[in-house]
Structure 1
Amino acid sequence: MKFIQNPLYNHTKLFMLLSFAIAVLLAGILLRAKNNQEILDKIQQYDNTTEYESTTNETGSEPKKTRRKEYLYRLLTNTTRSLIQMEIKARRLEENMRRIKEKTADLLWKNKDKALWHILFKNISRHITIRHEFHQHASLKRIMLDSHHDQNHRNHKQSHCKLAKKLIKVILTGKIGPGYASPLEAFRNGPREQLLYVVCVQPDQTKQDYLATVDVDPKSPTYSQVIHRTYTGSVGDELHHSGWNVCSSCHNDPNLKRNLLILPALASSNVFVMDVGTDPRKPKLHKVIDGSEMRSFNCSFPHTAHCLASGEIMISTMGDKEENGKGDFVLIDSKSLKVTGTWTKGKLAQFGYDFWYQPYHDVMVASEWGTPKFFKNGFQPDDIPNSERYGTSINFYKWSTRELQQVIDLGPEGCAPLEIRFLHDPKASQGFVGCAVEANIFRFYKTAAGTWKVDKVIDIPSKKVSKDGVETELNGLMSDILLSLDDKYLYFSCWLHGDVRQYDISDPAHPKLTGQVHLGGKILDDLDLVEDRETKEQRKPVIIKGKRLQGGPQMLQLSLDGKRLYVSSSLYSPWDKQFYPKMAEQGGWIVKLDVDTVNGGMKLDENFLVDFGKEPNGPVLPHEMRYPGGDCTSDIWLAED
């Protein structure tokens, strides 16, 4: 090596620095091991003490109870102090190593020995990186605050101790729960997606719906292909949306695992539970929760599924057992997978559809579609002004009491408010809802008085079209919206107009259009454009890999880093057949848009196409898409305080 030709004092400096680095490294490892053992010894000592007391005195005298309470709080105090000390020592050690690294780097680079630099610090960083998990998990303070809600004092003490012990072991072992600690962690550190789970609906109702596994790894030989199909085992279900047994709201519980995908079916009210944990590339049907369980609680047409921090699964429902309009929510135990009841206490909303909860503000917000027994037969323009058939309101519930507290009527311009999203920041007090019929976006936000208000912030004008010489107005039919995990961009699709749009929402009250891509639509299907109030650009059919895209853009799914937007084409099979019969006959599709996350803008990837017209049992209609590890529409985060 070149450095051996340098003067001897350079060698001496280098070896002294290396020796010092190794000594600090060993000291840090021994110090951390000692602290870990001390804490574990305390836990074991407490376990032995409580076990001895429970076997020698079941009832226990009052003084002994007092001593046990005092011991518990001493344990919590000492544990907290030890954790803080460990954090301080770890940070000091990292700072010392950083300084050593800088000095040694300077010397090594002066001697131009890049190979030695790489080998040395690759190994040092591997062993010395002490990423304390303390900040990623609920603190003891949070455990104590949560415990105040437990009315049984004795149970409170027992659960308090169990949670404290769980927290300590999580910190020492480094194990974490499902999902990500925060939306920004998912955005910055989440892996690139390699699989898509896609809900596929059979337009031929004598055949089964299924969950398709799509390979989206560009390095794979089966890239952009369906590699597995998991069938429901029944017909006439109408799969629609999907959710998880657990998600990032349970991130602080290392005992939970995201391994079951929940698929509610609109028509049958069955809930299909898919095992995606055993083999993510080949999911298996784990269980079917029969629709009779849901209907026994006077609920039907299940839609959105979200996991709760309590370990339950909550699914919004749109109808009663007779398929009249009714906004409610059913709860499913994530372990037994049994429907345990409904969530709402007291007054119910007139209609249901989507929902999002934000415990930091003690609120859940839900949207509305309409009456299932009417919309399931297709779109009828005369139903729109009928307040008994289509909803126009968003509903705010008090999260802690499950009570409907405020209903805001958006009026005719807010007809059929469908997908609703809070900002991902768990402390944010605002969000957006997309209103389908008139293609408008409303922003909702919390006022200083603690109530909620709405403002229309995006209005997509209708287009004048003609068919057979008869002119009419064509609204966009905004069918899906989502927000990037950094809360910078809002995306939505207009199914009938045939475009996907991107808006910068850095100022949520004033969104700015930054990108737009056209992907089919009614104008290219069977209508002639008379007047476009936004642009004079002529539309052209979209052809990818020799296939013309029939239908329009519908469901959206964004990569964790915000750089790839996947778009599917099916809205709801009765409506697909009505508006886009050629798509129902030839099958739907998924395409990918590449996103400029810095300046805004989107571009169609002409080398990516998932063609669902070539499926083994005939053409199918792809709807919602999910990643195995969660995404920006499946996961909800909780604030740390």
Structure 2
Amino acid sequence: MSCCKGPGYASPLDAFKNGPREEILYVICVQPDVTKQDYLATVDVDPESPTYCQVIHRTYTGNVDDELHHSGWNVCSSCYDDPTLKRDLLILPSLTSCNVYAVDVGTNPRKPTLHKVIDGKEMRSFNCTFPHTTHCLATGEIMISTMGDKDENGKGDFVLIDSKTLRVTGTWTRGKKFAKFGYDFWYQPYHDVMVSTEWGTPKYFKSGFHPNDVANPDRYGTSLNVYKWSTRELQQVIDLGKEGVAPLEIRFLHDPKSAQGFVGCAVEANIYRFYKSDDGTWKAHKVIDVPAKKVYKDGVESELNGLMSDILLSLDDKYLYFSCWLHGDVFQYDISDPEHPKLTGQVNFGGQLQNGYRLVAGGELKDTPKPLLVKGKPLYGAPQMLQLSLDGKRLYVSTSLFSPWDKQFYPQMVEKGGWIVKIDVNTIDGGIKLDPDFLIDFGKEPDGPTLPHEMRYPGGDCSSDIWLAKD
């Protein structure tokens, strides 16, 4: 980083080529016991360190029943041209309580401290709940997407927080149109656009996954919501249909002039490419389809969908990665030709097949696989959140999706604790391989087993930083 510039990196390729190797991970940890506190774990990932693969610090929220989920920064690379700003606060919204925690990671990055708590009442006063994605804006403001109204009905909106006072100042959306549901978002000012995604109605999905809810348009979303960035108005809704149920994580290509990106649709495990068409409108089409697996359990044959839970793009826009939480897979695709992604790597962790299911293949029943072992520990659960090193060579994988769903689908993981593993990446020819010597075990934490979710690096990463075009 330049001493004469603001936070982050000058460009995605600057981060890719010149960014430092990560030495610590900040990991959101959720307590399955809601009478205990969630926390931010600081994990040592420096191979030269004596505490490698260990949690070296825990920053507790001071409250219970929070359900920390995603995180973001007070400022990021979109503020690179402002030398008065400093990336020193990690912002942690919580789904259930709606509290937002600002954690000081600048004073002592290895031992972050709680800087301020923004009470959930502030967010509710603007008729918003279930905060999800945090991005900083070039104005220095913090914007957080929300999924519910004060009664936890579906409502897609965004709250703004003043990055200096850390007070909720209002909502971002203007005009008469509002998104039916909310989840993730990504902005691209060069094309005067922001696109947001949809999960569903919080008061229903918060109690678990209910298959009968999926086809109910009042409980699960299927659309991309396209806003005019300069006026904050919802201008277009792209309905992806039944194969696009629960479009969750959305990523523009990192090139700030790019007019395309990808979104992962959870329920049917599909990737859609979205792009700006010649007439100025935005369109989307499916480019990756992970088929359901035929499985057998308790005398019943059924189909098991992958449940695509996270996606990300390498900073050079060469590779797309995604996880399928129920199938237990992590995939790598070459997206040099974004319209025709090419599979280049896959690692399987077993997923739901470890929970007594047997795979039906070629008319035969396959044996239930044993849990994958890393450093002698059985890995109960499945890959969920992903984080890629700046140089694209190391992919970190954690296990928790959302604690009510964790308890429903992977009770053994909840009982024994989640984990983080590392996948090594061939960035030249493609290909991914599990590192057998890397494991962070959250089964023996001080207050009992916990559930690791999203991961960040102190200097930013490929899923939290957004760059602005220079001209």
Normalised by the shorter chain, which TM-score bucket? over 0.9
Cα offset for 1:311?
0.6
Offset at residue 528 of structure 1 (A): 1.1
Q: Could you tell me which amino acid in structure 1 is paired with residue 123 of structure 2?
A: M
Matched, 1:469 2:303: no
Question: Matched residue of 1:433: which SS?
Answer: strand
- Measured after TM superposition, the shift of residue 526 of structure 1 is 2.0
Structure 2 counterpart of 1:497: 327
Contact 2:127 / 2:150 at 8 angstroms: preserved in 1? yes
Q: Distance in 1 between matches of 2:198 and 2:379?
A: 30
Q: 2:455 & 2:257 partners in 1: Cα distance?
A: 27
Letter in 1 for 2:147: M
Deviation per CA, 1:576-622, whole angstroms, max 9, x where unpaired?
00000000110000000000000000010010000000101000000
2:220 alignment counterpart: 390
Tell me the CA shift for residue 313 of structure 1. Answer: 0.1
- The within-5 A match list for 1:161-176 is 175-176=4-5
Question: Out of 84, 89, 101, which is 1:272 matched to?
Answer: 101
Alignment correspondent of 2:143: 314
Q: Is the 8 A contact 1:520 1:553 kept in 2?
A: no
1:392, 1:184 → 2: CA distance? 33
Q: Please, which of 12, 23, 48 is the counterpart of residue 219 of structure 1? A: 48
- CA deviations 1:38-69 (Å, max 9, x no partner) are xxxxxxxxxxxxxxxxxxxxxxxxxxxxxxxx
Cross-structure match for 1:605: 435
Q: Is the 8 A contact 2:358 2:367 kept in 1?
A: no
* Aligned counterpart, 2:268: 438
Overall identity of the aligned pairs, in %: 78
How far apart in 2 are the matches of 1:585 and 1:532? 35
Residue number in structure 2 paired with 1:419: 249
Detail structure 1 runs of 4+ shifted over 4 Å in the superposition: 536-540
Runs (5+) with no aligned partner, structure 2: none
Q: Deviations over 1:71-119 (max 9, x none)?
A: xxxxxxxxxxxxxxxxxxxxxxxxxxxxxxxxxxxxxxxxxxxxxxxxx
Q: Report the equivalent of 2:16.
A: 187
Contact 2:359 2:367 in 1 (8 A): no
Q: Give the drift of 1:193.
A: 0.1
Compute the displacement of 1:537 (Å).
11
Distance 1:195 1:537 in 2: 39
CA distance in 2, matches of 1:390, 1:516: 29
Q: Alignment partner for residue 206 of structure 1, among 29, 35, 39?
A: 35
- 1:251 paired residue number: 80
Alpha-carbon deviation of 1:540?
5.1
- Give the aligned residue type for 1:530: V
**3-state SS of the aligned residue for 2:464?**
coil
**1:408 — aligned with what?**
238
Match among 358, 381, 401 for residue 528 of structure 1: 358
Q: Is the partner of 1:613 in helix, strand or coil?
A: coil
Which amino acid is 1:333 matched to?
D
Secondary structure of 2:156's match? strand
Name the structure 2 match of 1:197.
26
Mapped to 1, the partners of 2:412 and 2:444 lie a distance apart of: 14
Shift of 1:524: 1.8
Aligned residue in 1 for 2:90: 261
Does the Cα contact within 8 Å between 2:91 and 2:103 map onto a contact in 1?
yes
The alignment partner of 1:218 has SS state of coil
Which of 416, 420, 442 is 1:590 aligned to?
420
The Cα RMSD (Å) is: 1.3
SS of the residue aligned with 2:412?
helix
SS of 1:614's equivalent in the other structure is: coil
Q: Secondary structure at the match of 1:386?
A: coil
Query: What amino acid is aligned across from residue 429 of structure 1 in structure 2?
Result: A
* Cα distance in 1 between the residues matched to 2:126 and 2:356: 44
Query: Aligned residues, how many?
Result: 468
Whole-Å Cα distance in 2 between the matches of residues 549 and 502 of structure 1? Answer: 21
Per the TM alignment, residue 463 of structure 1 is displaced from its structure 2 partner at its CA by: 0.3
Residue identity in the other structure for 1:293: E
Structure 2: how far apart are the matches of 1:614 and 1:541? 19
Please state how far the C-alpha of 1:532 moved relative to its aligned partner: 7.8
TM-fit CA distance, 1:520: 2.9
Determine if contact 1:195/1:216 at 8 Å carries over to the other structure.
yes
**In the alignment, what sits opposite 1:298?**
127
Is the Cα contact below 8 Å between 1:525 and 1:550 reproduced in 2? no
Matching residue within 367, 373, 378 for 1:543? 373
Q: TM-score, normalised by structure 1?
A: 0.72
Instruction: Report the counterpart of residue 92 of structure 1 in structure 2.
Output: none
Secondary structure at the counterpart of residue 41 of structure 2: strand
Report the counterpart of residue 233 of structure 1 in structure 2: 62
Aligned to 2:456: 626
Matched, 1:359 2:189: yes
In the TM superposition, residue 256 of structure 1 has moved relative to its aligned partner by 0.4
2:386/2:455 contact within 8 Å kept = yes
1:569 is aligned, of 387, 399, 405, to 399
Gaps of 5+ in 1: 1-132, 137-173
CA contact (8 A) 1:475 1:496 kept: yes
Counterpart CA distance in 2 for 1:422 and 1:185 is 18
Task: Look up the SS of the partner of 1:369 in the other structure.
Answer: coil
| Matches of 1:638 and 1:356, distance apart in 2 | 12
Shift of 1:541: 2.7
Q: Which amino acid aligns with 1:354?
A: D
Q: Residue 399 of structure 1 aligns with which residue?
A: 229
Aligned-partner residue type, residue 265 of structure 1: S
Mapped to 1, the partners of 2:82 and 2:355 lie a distance apart of 50
Greater strand fraction, Structure 1 or Structure 2: 2
Letter in 2 for 1:400: S
Do 2:24 and 2:110's aligned partners in 1 also have CA atoms closer than 8 Å? Answer: yes
SS at 2:62 equivalent: strand
- Asked which structure has the greater CA Rg, the reply is 1
Aligned-pair CA distance for 1:546: 1.2
Q: Distance between the aligned counterparts of 1:208 and 1:473, measured in 2?
A: 37
* 2:167 alignment counterpart: 338
- State the shift of 1:220 in Å: 0.1
